[in-house]
Structure 1
Amino acid sequence: MKYIAILFFTIVLTNFSNAKTMSMVDLLTDYPAYFNALIQGVSIRADDVFTNPNTAELIESYFKPYQVKSLLD
């Protein structure tokens, strides 16, 4: 759950200028593959977030707008 909280606060802070926040329920519902992987203790190493199955759900809403290409969670 620590990782979920970190991502949650990152999304809230990143979107603060847009005055858009997402509840934890929204995050878990909208991005189930990503959060289920984290909850199961999977380390997500995405050299390319656009091809990783655990990060694919975040492409349009997060990675493209913020030009994220890779991540390690």
Structure 2
Amino acid sequence: MTAYGFLYFVAHDALVHQRWPFRYVPRRGYLKRLYQAHLMHHAVHGRDGCVSFGFLFAPPVAKLK
């Protein structure tokens, strides 16, 4: 449970929502896919049209579109 909480904080709160004192946007690889998938997930309000990708599983963005 502690590991999940830590990963949630790092991936969701810190990486995507920039809740730390510096800005980091990944430029390639897995973290970039995770970042882009999460931004697509938050691009719409509500459940209709929302991208669902899983918490730490990030398929290629073209597949999510």
TM > 0.5 between the two?
A: no
Normalising by structure 1, what TM-score? 0.30
Higher helix share: 1
Higher strand share: 1
